[in-house]
Structures are given as C-alpha cells and as structure tokens.
Structure 1
C-alpha cells in the first residue's frame, strides 16, 4: 500500500487525535489540533493511505530560525515501513525551504536509532524537566 504525503494539509482534529492516541496511548478525546498547528507550528506533514491519516509530525517554532519537532506518530499497522522516516524527512525539507536554520528534537533513548540513525539528528545531550 502506498502513502501520499501532504504538507500543511487541512487538519481534521478527530483524525489527528485518533492517530495520536493510537501511537502514544491514553484516553481518546478530540483535541483542537488545527488551531494549535495554525497558531504555533511552522509546518506539519501527514502520510495518508487511501485518505486515512497514518502518519503525522509537526514543528513548532520561535518565529525566527529555530523549530522543535513534536508528535511523530505512525499508525500501528503502518509502523516499521518507513512512514516515520519519510514524514520527518519531508518536514525537514519544508523547514529548510522556509529558511529555518535549526531543528531540535527530544526523544527517549529507545528512539535513538530512529532519530539519530534514520533521520540524521545529532546527540546534543539535552535535558528535560517534567513540570507536573
């Protein structure tokens, strides 16, 4: 099955919420993705299989040259097929074309081979602080 990439597509809040819940767990609720992305994100990319959203990623930005990659999600039945790598690469290309200079990402150690290996990020030893 082939997937179609869409950059800065018209966001269906329910579809992104369902994919996010499938990928990250938790209780399903429809979140205001469209409003969030339009307000805070420089770009977002979706992978669609027969019009079903099967992959998603976005980058929030500081209004200048820095962006931060968030919410990389791939439907369970499409994982390990290159969808994640493809959507991250498309996002990177779109951010480069927009003139951004830096893209940051946080991830848990088990995702190191994906972000550093497949996507080309450099380990910078960043820190994270849980606020709640």
Structure 2
C-alpha cells in the first residue's frame, strides 16, 4: 500500500536516493531551501520508504508550479504519480493558488492531460 503525505519534509538522504533511482542523478542535492519555500510538496511512501515525490512551487500569489514529479522506477505504472498530482492540485487550490502550471517533455503529454492540464504555449531559457 502506498500512502501519500503532504509536506513530509523527507530527509536529504531519502530524496537523494529517490533522485538517483528516478533520474540517475548521482550528485547529491540540498533540498532544504527548495522545500522551505514551496507552497506544498507530496511524498509517496511504501513500507515507510519514499517512492514518489512532487513539489508545488509558487510565486507567493496566484500561480503555483508542479516540479520534480518522480516515482521510483520499480513502483511506476501503479497510479502513484497520478495520485500525487491530484493531491498536489487539491492542496494548491486549498492554499490559495488560482493557477497551476506544469512544464513537461512531449512523451509526458498524455499523462499530464489525464491529470487535467491543458496544453499552452510557454517559453524556456537554459541558464547553465
């Protein structure tokens, strides 16, 4: 059974392990500054282990942003990401956001559309 937790503030080790498994990222990151400024974040736990994560960043006003959606590859295709996005949407709404944005790669279009997002035009500049 997978449980969702709102604002669980996972340990740096747990987040870095999930990043390694989900993204292949071997360089440890410090998430404390990011999570302290988020509108919310959702953690998915199986047997006490972090197996999924999504961050809801925001501008301090009407706009919130889905970032870093990830699920442990061994736990994918079980609806965990969908459940996290639905929960993140509800929490963002409850906490006052009026708009929820997400950027994604083309292969994720059907996933985010199934979660209720509609396609819009956007721009992006890679800074580093």
Give the match for residue 118 of structure 2. 122
Correspondence 1:1-132 to 2 at 5 A = 2-29=1-28, 31-38=29-36, 40-116=37-113, 118-132=114-128
TM-score (norm 2): 0.94
Secondary structure at 1:91 match in 2: helix
Distance 2:49 2:25 in 1: 21
Q: Which runs of 4+ in 1 moved over 2 A?
A: none
- Match of 1:26, SS? coil
- State the Cα distance separating 1:28 from its structure 2 match: 4.0
1:32 Cα deviation (Å)?
A: 1.8
TM-score w.r.t. the length of structure 1 is 0.91
Name stretches of at least 5 consecutive residues in structure 2 with no aligned partner.
none
| RMSD between aligned residues | 1.1
Distance 1:59 1:10 in 2: 13
Q: Distance in 2 between matches of 1:130 and 1:35?
A: 21
The 8 Å contact of residues 44 and 58 in structure 1, kept in 2 or not, is answered as yes
CA distance in 2, matches of 1:23, 1:49: 15
How many residues matched?
A: 128
Assess if the C-alpha contact under 8 Å between 1:20 and 1:71 holds in 2. no
